[in-house]
Chains A and B, each alone.
Chain A
Amino acid sequence: DIVMTQSPDSLAVSLGERATINCKSSRTILYSSDNKNYLAWYQQKAGQPPKLLIYWASTRESGVPDRFSGSGSGTDFTLTISSLQAEDVAVYYCQQYYSTPRTFGGGTKVEIK
């Protein structure tokens, strides 16, 4: 199984400041035949189901604000919130869909400082 490791477990950021979440896979999730990274990012607010933010590591889902961006390739990935808003308080998960079982990172809790 591919193990997904997120860091940090939690972070507190001031409103308007940048938040950066890291995700590392235990082996590459870059598929050579299509040169795509099979990685997604989700946001889960308290009491709600997860919401897809980013797929293919860097493609923003329709309707997701452009302050959210994804980057990275191979085994190392980053989700950046460029200017944290109050409504961004949530737990964020990375997930690989390169192989079965599809596995998630442990989550990163983002709070307001």
Chain B
Amino acid sequence: EVHLVESGGGLVQPGGSLRLSCAASGFTFATYTMNWVRQAPGKGLEWVSYISSSSDTIYQAESVKGRFTVSRDNAKNSLYLQMNSLRVEDTAVYYCARDRYGDYAFDMWGQGTMVSVSS
């Protein structure tokens, strides 16, 4: 069965750092482009970052550019999001999401991991 499982969320003070992980299983991870999408409490969805299958292309939302870094390890079937200089407004559930093969609709989502930024 196909799965994405996020981990690494938690409570952090403003200015702090966290590293999120997303473990993939049940499909050939190395052939898919991947994303992080977040959802603030009670709010809508916001795309955060994209990484190509070979990591040669990366896109970030302006709201996180220079603070967040997406990466992947295809040998470990894992996606990562390094989050630095965290702000209160980064508080959200963070989902990893797979791009549908051949296009860019998100066809698979993890259950999400909660990141809370508060003093």
> Chain A residues in contact with chain B, CB under 8 A?
38, 40, 42, 44, 48-52, 55-56, 61, 93, 95, 97, 100-107
Contact = CB atoms under 8 A, between A and B. Distances in A.
B36 to A, nearest CB: 11
Contacts of B111: 48-49
Interface string B48-83: 001000000001011000000000000000000000
Contacts of B61: 101
Interface of B: 35, 44-47, 50, 59, 61-62, 95, 100, 103-112
A56 B109 contact: no
Contacts of A107: 44-45
B45 A51 contact: no
Nearest to B104: A97
A50 B62 contact: no
B94 to A, nearest CB: 11
Given A51-B109, A100-B50, A100-B59, A38 B104 contact: yes
